[in-house]
Amino acid sequence: MPILNHHPTTPDSANGETVLPRANLVEMFSAIQGEGLNVGTRQIFIRFGGCDLRCQFCDSAHTWFANQICHIEQSPGLRDFSPQPNPVTIPQILDWLNRQDQVGLHDSISLTGGEPLLHATFLEQLLPRIRKQTLLPFYLETGGHHPQGLIKVLPYLDSVGMDLKLPSVSGEIHWDEHRHSLELCHQAQVEVFCKLIISEQTDWQDLKMAAQLVAAINPTLALFLQPVTPLNPRHPVQPPSPEKVLTWQAQLKQICQQVRVVPQTHKIMGQR
């Protein structure tokens, strides 16, 4: 599927002058991580714009396309956003990050989207620059379907949260890409966990396939079941019953050692 309105992030030259690499952001802000292994920790979120997936359960459709404006929080946690024109440069991000990075406040930097690996070439240049400015670890949130992009940024990452797509829930099929991405993380000895969004429509065979894929690479890797957050009572994608969740967890624990159930806690708290 083509990436719509995705601004190129590869450095180029025009008329003999070097053009600064740029990327489209949605927002930068400080918040509590609401999902997965890092739930409850304080992070600086750098949210990139553009996604080549169209998951049926997505609660962030505003990140699918590049916008002319991004929103940058001026003071960590105060939601005093300032609109800024896209695309943005590395020096701009470094400046905004410096305002957020108060001593002792944050546990890590979340690289999220959209799909941040669509900007892998930009990240390959950005992350070393950030590393010179702060010692905060890098946490990548990805759909896990761009292994070639992952290769570019893996040397700079500390942890990866991979959202494996169940065809019966997301409408997407990327098993081979998921497997390749997990193998890359395992070989690089980068901390990684997997997340499975589950709904009333979840097919057990999809869950089994995902768990077997994970177990074949690393049976101790944490697998998170995340019941879909209903967008509204009439939306066709609704969360599964508690009984289904308990049954699925019990079955999956016969394949993977660590199977946890964690909803989107930031939604419960009313946080972005």
DSSP letters of 243-272? HHHHHHHHHHTTT-SEEEE---HHHHTT--
Predicted confidence at residue 132, as pLDDT, reads 96
Q: How many CA atoms lie within 13 A of 267 on its CB side?
A: 13
What is the enclosing helix (H) or strand (E) of 195? strand 191-198
CA 229 to CA 210: how far, in whole Å?
21
Burial of 70 (0-12, 13-18, 19+ CB in 10 A): buried
Predicted confidence at residue 236, as pLDDT, reads 75
Which residue carries 């991580």 as its tokens?
33
Predicted confidence at residue 180, as pLDDT, reads 98
Q: Which of 20, 22, 29 is nearest to 7 (CA)?
A: 22
CA 34 to CA 44: how far, in whole Å?
13
**CATH class entry, domain 22-268:** alpha beta
User: Do residues 162 and 194 touch, judged by C-beta distance below 8 A?
Assistant: yes
CA 71 to CA 47: how far, in whole Å?
10
Predicted confidence at residue 17, as pLDDT, reads 60
CA 70 to CA 26: how far, in whole Å?
5
* 92 CB neighbour count, 10 Å cutoff: 18
Mean pLDDT by 10 residues, the chain (272 residues): 41 59 97 95 97 80 87 97 98 97 97 96 98 97 97 98 93 94 97 96 96 96 92 79 97 97 84 74
Predicted confidence at residue 12, as pLDDT, reads 47
Give 63's DSSP letter. G
User: Do residues 134 and 97 touch, judged by C-beta distance below 8 A?
Assistant: yes
Buried/exposed code over 94-111 (b: 16+ C-beta within 10 A; e: otherwise)? eebbeebbeeeebbbbbb
